[in-house]
Amino acid sequence: MSLFDGIESNVAFYSRLYPAVFNSSEGVYIFDVQNRRYIDFLAGAGSLNYGHNNPILKKKLISYIESNGVTHGLDMMTLAKKEFLSVFHEKILKPRNLSYIVQFTGPTGTNSVEAALKICRNVTGRQNIIAFTNAFHGVTLGSLAVTGGRFYRAAAGVPLNNVFRLPYDGEHDNSFDSINYISEKLTTSNSEIDKPAGVIVEVLQGEGGLNKASIKWLQELQELCKRHGMLLIVDEIQTGCGRTGDFFSFEKARIYPDIVTLAKSLSGYGLPFAVALIKPCYDNWKPGQHNGTFRGNNLAFVTATETFKYYWKNSEFSEAVVHKSLLIKNRLKEITDKYEKHGFQHKGLGMMQGIDFMDGKVVNEICRNAFLKGVIVEPCGPTSNVLKILPPLIIDNSCLHKALDTIADSIDEVINNKMRC
C-alpha cells in the first residue's frame, strides 16, 4: 500500500478495502503479487460478467491486434464496428423485438447517461427529469444530478438541479405510491411541478442497495411516461448483459424503454465501452453534437461482438445464470434465516443479490474478513449496509458454493464476535 501513498490521489476507494497489489487474473480469480488467489465477487463492479481475461474473447482480441486492426476509430466506419452493429442487432435486439438506434457515446457509463438525459430534454423541450431515491447513474454533473447519494452529490460544487426526486418502488414500506402521486400532480391544471422531460430508472439498484422495482410498478411507470409525453430511460449499465438472467433486466416487465444505457459488461473484457440505445423516432441528434474522443474503441467492439456470438446465440447462458441465481438465493436465505432475530434482509435478484445488515460497519468487517479468506466482495447501499454478491456469470457451481461458504463463515465470525462484546 505504502507504494501508492503520496503519489495516487486520495480518491482511490477499493484499494483501501482490498489492500493488496494485484497482478494477474483469470476467470473468477484475481492474483496478488504474492500469488495469493482471490475469488472475485467484485467483478469490476459488474464489468466482468464473462470473467477476467475470458479465453474466447482474448483469442479474438489478440488476433485482431495481430492483424493491425484499427484500435482507435473516433466515430468512423470500421469493419469491427459494422460487425458489432449487425451482430448486436441479430443476436440481441431482433430476438427481443426491439428496434433501437445505437449511439456510441464516450466509453463510460456516465457518458451514455449524459447523452440519454440530453435526448430527453432536446426531444421534449422540457428540463425536469424524474429520478428516484437511492439511484446511481454516474458522477459527471448531469448524471450526478439524477444520482441520489449525498456523498457523491456533495462533491459537485455547483447546484445539481432540474431533477424531481421520487421514492423508488417499495421505499417507505410501500406506504407512499410515487406513481400515483406524480400522476395526480401532472394531471391537475394548477400543478406546481413543471412537466418532466423524462424519467430515469434502474430495474434493480446496483449501488443503491439492491432494491428492485416490481413488474407492475415498471409497467405503470411506462404508462405514466406515455400519458405525459415523457421519455423513459432504463439504466442497464450494471443490470445489463445477463446480470439478472435476461440480457436486459427490463425484459420480464415486457416494457419498451425509449432509451437504454449500457456500459460496464458490454465489451465483456473489461474494456471501456458504452452505448445509448434510442428509439429511432427520438434520434434527432445533429452530427457531432454529442461526441467523445474515445467513442470508437474498436477493441471493445471486437470482444463485445464475440460475447453476443458465443454467449447469446441461444438460451443456454441465460438459463445457467437463472440456475445459479437460485443457488445464491437459497444460500443467502439460509443466512438470513439463521439470524432471523437480527432482521437481516435478503436483497436483489439474478446474480446481483445480497444481504442488508442495516449497519455499514458490520458489512465493512465482513468484506475485510472475506478478503483475508480469499474472497473479494463489496458493500453497497446508502450507508454501505448491504453486502453485495456479484460473481462473474461464468462461475461454476462448485466455485460458487466455495465462495459462498467463505462468505457465510466471514459473516458468522463478524456477527458472533459482535455479539460477544
Ligand X SMILES: *Cc1c(COP(=O)(O)O)cnc(C)c1O
The residues that touch ligand X, with contacts defined as CB under 6 A, are 108-110, 113, 136-138, 202, 206-207, 235, 237-238, 263-264
Shortest Cβ distance from residue 338 to ligand X (Å)?
30
Position of cell 478478503?
371
Q: How far apart are CA 253 and CA 263, in angstroms?
A: 21
Q: Which is nearer to ligand X, 207 or 365 (CB)?
A: 207
- The Cβ of residue 1 has, within 10 Å, a number of other Cβ atoms equal to 9
Sign of the Cα pseudo-torsion (389, 144, 124, 107, in order): negative
**Parallel, antiparallel, or unpaired: how do β-strands 378-380 and 375-376 relate?**
unpaired
Residue 264 CB, nearest approach to ligand X (Å): 6
Closer by beta carbon to ligand X, 110 or else 364: 110
Q: Kindly give, in sequence order, each residue whose CB lies less than 8 Å from that of residue 46, ignoring residues fewer than 6 positions away.
A: 206, 237, 238, 243, 264, 265, 352, 390
Nearest residue relative to ligand X (C-beta): 109
- Which CB, 88 or 273, lies closer to ligand X? 273
Q: In this structure, how many other beta carbons lie within 10 angstroms of the beta carbon of residue 191?
A: 12
Task: Name the residue nearer to ligand X (CB basis): 117 or 320.
Answer: 117
For the chain, the helix, strand and coil percentages under 3-state DSSP, each to the nearest 5: 40, 15, 40
CB of 352 to ligand X, least distance (A): 10
Smallest distance from ligand X to CB 421, Å: 36
Please name which of 375, 374, 371, 321 lies closest in space to residue 349, comparing C-alpha atoms: 321
Minimum Å gap between C-beta 239 and ligand X is 7
Burial of 349 (0-12, 13-18, 19+ CB in 10 A): buried
Nearest distance from residue 206's CB to ligand X, in Å?
A: 4
Smallest gap from residue 135 Cβ to ligand X (A): 8
In terms of CB distance, is 324 or 388 closer to ligand X?
388
Toward ligand X, which CB reaches closer, 40 or 235? 235
Q: What angle do CA 39, 328, 45 make, to 5 degrees?
A: 50
Could you tell me the three cell numbers for 169?
Answer: 418502488
Minimum CB distance to ligand X smaller for 268 or for 406 = 268
Query: Do residues 266 and 275 touch, judged by C-beta distance below 8 A?
Result: yes
Q: How far is the CB of 207 from ligand X (least distance, A)?
A: 6
In whole angstroms, the minimum distance from the beta carbon of 343 to ligand X comes to 27
Q: Report the residue number, 121 or 243, with the smaller CB distance to ligand X.
A: 243
Pick from 21, 57, 136: nearest CA to 306: 57
**Backbone dihedral angles phi then psi of residue 94, each to the nearest 5 degrees:** -60, -50
Cβ burial, residue 278 (10 Å; 0-12/13-18/19+): buried
C-beta closer to ligand X: residue 208 or 406: 208
